[in-house]
Amino acid sequence: MVGGGQLSRMTAAPATALGVGFRVLALDPQESAAQVTADVVLGRHDDLDALRRLADGCAVVTFDHEHVPVDHLRALVDGGVAVRPGPDALVHAQDKITMREALDRAGLPCPAWRHLATPDDVESAGAALGWPFVLKVSRGGYDGRGVWIVTDADEARHVMERTPLVPGARWLAEERVPFTRELAAQVARSPHGQAVAYPVVRTVQVDGMCSEVVAPCPDLPEEMALEAQRIALEIARVLDVTGMLAVELFDTPAGIVVNELAMRPHNSGHWTIDGAVTSQFENHLRAVLDLPLGDPRSLARWAVMVNIVGPADIEGLLPLYDAYRHVLARDPGVKVHLYGKEIRAGRKLGHVTVIGDDLDDLLARAHHAADYFMGVIDE
């Protein structure tokens, strides 16, 4: 797996359970996944030699992020390496303009959008999409970095002029979707075409970063849930995705609209470790190895996942482990996952999951545990 972050770390566990060899390409030995993986190749994801060292002797190469240059992936494929998802699929998770063009072609519901070739295009985009609109960089963004809500042309131009772009990135403007809530639909798809769909979840983003997930999405009419799953399965098929696909969705009064895609395990599916028969991490492995997929169904009526994110003021915050005695004693039903990362403001450090029958109770318990870790509360 390319990338040594928490997604890679959480994939190591089912690799161990399945008895599948697991090698990680990490930037340094202290990275989240490198800490728990015996077989670590040190190197960068944009260094073809490092990617070749990773691939050497592996049955398949997959990813915990979408930032590997597509030319490198094509070079690996040309060299006989099985890369899953393949470069022709992955480009749609790398570049939001490429993604919008493909989804428009497939007739799937997207926000209205425009490519902004120069800062001067913001006026016509605003006239077409309305103000405020959502300004995005097409590649290189994550966790809300690379997304701005801009209220007028001056603000839009200002952001464009002062923000450096990663190579190949372009600017796009999207209509600001009046969503009532955000959803995610996850599917796993294997090279031989088997696919499974997870329950559709509700996600809450704070400052553009996922903060809370409830599975399944409360009060979602069955036909809407089926429609969201159908959209995700259709995208997986049309783009020939292998592995996990997450489709971030907006729930609007006019129906479901696609926000963006991730072709890897995704924050919206962390609940599946403790709340589903087969976790997204296990199904990602099964899918890229072209093994039969596991049952994606929930183990309980509800699952709630809340992220542990480094607070703005980390001064005086105790090591996360120090919270264990309190959090674990207070609620033996809470499942805690820490990623072994140094605490930094705004950084995803871990998550907690609780499953059960009473949604309000689960929400309170999950937030209590996460808040205690984050130093928001102290009892």
Binding residues for ligand ATP, rule: CB under 6 A, are 111, 134, 136, 141-147, 174, 176-177, 182, 205, 208-209, 248, 259-260
What 50-53 contacts at long range (C-beta under 8 Å, 24+ apart), as own/partner pairs, is: 50/25, 51/2, 51/25, 51/76, 52/76, 52/79
Chosen from ligand ATP, Mg ion, none, partner binding at 147 (C-beta under 5 to 8 Å by type): ligand ATP
Give the DSSP H or E segment for 374. Answer: none
- Binding mask 172-211 toward Mg ion (x if CB under 5 A, else -) reads ----------------------------------------
Question: In this complex, which beta carbon is closest to ligand ATP, that of residue 206 or of residue 376?
Answer: 206
- Report CA-CA distances (Å) from 29 to 1, 34, 35, 42, 375: 15, 5, 6, 7, 28
Chosen from ligand ATP, Mg ion, none, partner binding at 265 (C-beta under 5 to 8 Å by type): none
The CB-of-262 to ligand ATP minimum distance in angstroms stands at 7
Question: In this complex, which beta carbon is closest to Mg ion, that of residue 195 or of residue 247?
Answer: 247
Between CA 292 and CA 283 the distance in angstroms is 9
Cβ partners under 8 Å of residue 250, min gap 6: 111, 177, 179, 182, 183, 256, 257, 258, 259
The CB-of-209 to Mg ion minimum distance in angstroms stands at 9
Task: Give SS3 for 27.
Answer: coil
The CB-of-246 to ligand ATP minimum distance in angstroms stands at 8
User: Per CB under 5 A, which region of 61-69, 110-118, 258-266, 330-338 contacts Mg ion?
Assistant: 258-266
Question: In this complex, which beta carbon is closest to Mg ion, that of residue 309 or of residue 334?
Answer: 309
Question: In this complex, which beta carbon is closest to ligand ATP, that of residue 182 or of residue 227?
Answer: 182
Chosen from ligand ATP, Mg ion, none, partner binding at 142 (C-beta under 5 to 8 Å by type): ligand ATP
Give the DSSP H or E segment for 309. Answer: strand 302-309
Question: In this complex, which beta carbon is closest to Mg ion, that of residue 261 or of residue 336?
Answer: 261
Chosen from Mg ion, ligand ATP, none, partner binding at 98 (C-beta under 5 to 8 Å by type): none
Report the sign of the C-alpha dihedral through residues 360, 362, 368, 373, in that order. negative
Task: Give SS3 for 94.
Answer: helix
User: Per CB under 5 A, which region of 22-30, 179-187, 256-264, 316-324 contacts Mg ion?
Assistant: 256-264
User: Per CB under 5 A, which region of 77-85, 115-123, 172-180, 243-251 contacts Mg ion?
Assistant: 243-251
Backbone angles phi, psi at 94, to 5 degrees: -85, -35
The CB-of-267 to ligand ATP minimum distance in angstroms stands at 7
The CB-of-136 to ligand ATP minimum distance in angstroms stands at 6
- Binding mask 287-306 toward Mg ion (x if CB under 5 A, else -) reads --------------------
Longest dimension (CA), the chain: 58
The CB-of-234 to ligand ATP minimum distance in angstroms stands at 20
* C-alpha atoms less than 13 angstroms from C-alpha of 220 in its C-beta half-sphere: 30
The site that binds Mg ion (CB under 5 A) totals a number of residues, namely 2
Asked if 189 and 287 touch (Cβ cutoff 8 Å), the reply is yes
Chosen from ligand ATP, Mg ion, none, partner binding at 111 (C-beta under 5 to 8 Å by type): ligand ATP
Residue 348, amino acid: K
**Can you list the alpha helix ranges (DSSP code H) found in the chain?**
6-18, 48-55, 70-78, 87-94, 96-105, 122-129, 153-162, 222-238, 272-275, 280-288, 324-330, 359-373
Neighbours of 16 (CB within 10 A): 13
Question: In this complex, which beta carbon is closest to ligand ATP, that of residue 206 or of residue 299?
Answer: 206
Q: Which residues bind Mg ion (CB under 5 A)?
A: 248, 260
